[in-house]
């Protein structure tokens, strides 16, 4: 595409500063995602006063309402863009509604609400992070780290166990962060080298390229090893920490860290609260019947175990009503569910 499309600039990974500058200087934001648990990209463009074109996802209707221009297919995207271009991209954006959007999805009151509900004075956090050089940028990680920063700013004592440096440094929380999983970096690199389009098997459901022969066997072996070692690396790092803070709660997000939290819970009696963004990924019925990338047999087993274990966590925070409804198919105890940006009742 870079060779055949002269008016396309492929920038690759960019810093947060450059990303924000590009958003401010843009004419319109386009997101072609067909599944979201929240969807942070429209928020970034809308709060910068830019129009957004996106597929009519249920969660987008829930969060953004009519602030987004919806397109059902590629032709509709083209049609909307053509109309905008004819008008020199002069699109009316409802500033009052965007101001309400910013107020509603503010992290400070969300952090305060979570702290009040849990009675927090201190918090241990198992979370995902990435090296500064990584091109992995995920909206769920942005939400999580902004929440951790807001909780810390409230004066709550936190200690973070993470496997990278990108967000801990960017959020000013590096001094509160202990790096875990250094011994797994070689395995992750080896797995990525086999399939450069995939992520760590234990990180998330990924789009898989079929690997044949010896490469396929090695990839499956590495997947299995990572699925086992990722959660254990968090749990062992925590249990072996001599200077860890005392906290009744462990916060986690994502299968490896939530499973690690449950291991620690059964060993030390701590309580586990987790943030889950994309609940449908863990629903086997949904995954089998949807257009999302199909899971390998190994990943199906892994997520079966994971979804079963969710009933043992003490609280689940979701980021949208759509994700809460998806989670209700997995976790029958509705008393455990908390909407991050919801009414106090």
Last residue of a domain, one of 69, 102, 135: 102
78 & 143 share domain: no
User: Residue 200: inside a domain, yes or no?
Assistant: yes
Domain count, the chain: 2
3-state SS track over the chain? CCCCCCCCCCCCCCCHHHHHHHHHHCCCEEECCCCCCCCHHHHHHHHCCCCEEECCCHHHHHHHHHHCEECCCHHHHHHHHHHHHHCCCCCCCCHHHHHHHHHHCCHHHHHHHHHHHHCCCEEEEECCCCCCCCCCCCHHHHHHHHHHHHHHHCCCEEEEEECCCHHHHHCCCHHHEEECCHHHHHHHHHHHHHCCCCCCCCCCCCCCCCCCHHHHHHHHHHHHHHHHHHHHHHHHHHHCCCCCCCCCEEEEECHHHHHHHHHHHHHHCCEEEEEECCHHHHCHHHHHHCCCCCCCHHHHHHHHHHHHHHHHCCEEEECCHHHHHHHHCCCCCHHHEEECCCCCC
**Looking at residue 223, which CATH number applies to its domain?**
3.40.50
CA–CA dist 231, 201 (Å, integer): 12
- Confidence (pLDDT) at 206: 42
Per residue in 155-195, pLDDT (tens digit) is 999 999 997 788 898 889 999 999 888 788 778 777 777 76
Looking at the DSSP bridge assignments, the partners of residue 190 are none
Residue 70: HSE in the Cβ half-sphere, 13 Å Cα cutoff: 13
User: Residue 169: inside a domain, yes or no?
Assistant: yes
166 & 96 share domain: no
Q: 199: pLDDT confidence band, cut at 50, 70 and 90?
A: very low
220 & 302 share domain: yes
User: Residue 309: inside a domain, yes or no?
Assistant: yes
More confident residue, 3 or 282: 3
Sign of the four-CA dihedral 254, 65, 147, 143: positive
User: Residue 10: inside a domain, yes or no?
Assistant: no
Q: Are 230 and 200 in contact (CB under 8 A)?
A: yes
Per residue in 306-325, pLDDT (tens digit) is 888 888 999 999 888 888 88
Does residue 5 register a pLDDT over 60?
yes
Does residue 132 register a pLDDT over 80?
no
Q: Are 287 and 294 in contact (CB under 8 A)?
A: yes
More confident residue, 63 or 285: 63
Q: Domain range for residue 26?
A: 16-102
For helices 40-47 and 16-25, give the axis angle rounded to 10 degrees. Answer: 60
112 & 245 share domain: yes
98 & 136 share domain: no
User: Residue 3: inside a domain, yes or no?
Assistant: no
Q: What is the mean pLDDT of the chain?
A: 82
207 & 255 share domain: yes
- Confidence (pLDDT) at 213: 67
Name the residue among 267, 254, 344, 249 with its Cα closest to residue 303: 254
Does residue 202 register a pLDDT over 60?
no
Q: Is the pTM of this model over 0.85?
A: no
Per residue in 29-86, pLDDT (tens digit) is 999 988 787 888 899 999 999 999 999 998 899 889 999 999 999 999 999 999 999 9
Per residue in 216-271, pLDDT (tens digit) is 778 778 888 888 898 999 999 998 887 788 888 999 988 889 999 999 999 988 99
**Looking at residue 94, which CATH number applies to its domain?**
3.40.50.2000
């Amino acid at each position: 595409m870079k060779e055949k499309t002269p008016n396309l600039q492929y920038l690759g990974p960019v810093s947060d500063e450059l990303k924000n500058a590009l958003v401010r200087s843009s004419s319109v934001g386009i997101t072609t995602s067909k599944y979201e648990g929240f969807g942070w990209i429209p928020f970034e463009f809308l709060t910068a006063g830019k129009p957004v074109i996106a597929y009519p996802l249920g969660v987008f209707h829930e969060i953004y309402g009519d602030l987004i221009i919806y397109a059902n297919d590629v032709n509709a995207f083209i049609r909307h863009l053509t109309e905008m271009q004819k008008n020199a991209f002069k699109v009316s954006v409802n500033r009052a509604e965007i101001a309400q959007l910013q107020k509603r999805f503010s992290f400070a009151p969300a952090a305060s609400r979570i702290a009040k509900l849990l009675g927090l004075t201190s918090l241990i956090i198992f979370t995902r992070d990435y090296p500064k050089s990584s091109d992995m940028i995920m909206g769920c990680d942005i939400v999580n780290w902004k929440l951790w920063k807001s909780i810390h700013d409230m004066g709550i004592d936190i200690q973070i166990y993470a496997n990278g440096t990108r967000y801990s440094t960017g959020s000013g929380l590096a001094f509160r962060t202990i790096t875990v999983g250094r011994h797994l970096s070689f395995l992750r690199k080896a797995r990525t080298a086999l399939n450069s389009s995939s992520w760590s098997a234990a990180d998330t459901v990924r789009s898989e390229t079929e690997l044949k022969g010896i490469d396929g066997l090695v990839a499956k072996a590495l997947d299995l090893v990572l699925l086992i070692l990722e959660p254990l690396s968090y749990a062992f790092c925590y249990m072996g920490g001599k200077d860890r803070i005392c906290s009744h709660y462990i916060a986690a997000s994502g299968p490896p860290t939530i499973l690690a939290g449950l291991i620690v819970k059964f060993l030390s009696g701590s309580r586990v609260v987790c943030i889950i963004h994309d609940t449908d990924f863990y629903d086997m019925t949904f995954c089998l019947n949807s257009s999302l990338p199909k899971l390998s047999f190994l990943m199906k087993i892994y997520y079966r175990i994971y979804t079963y274990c969710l009933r043992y966590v003490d609280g689940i925070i979701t980021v949208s009503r759509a994700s809460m409804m998806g989670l209700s198919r997995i976790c029958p105890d509705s008393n455990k569910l908390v909407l991050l940006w919801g009414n106090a009742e």
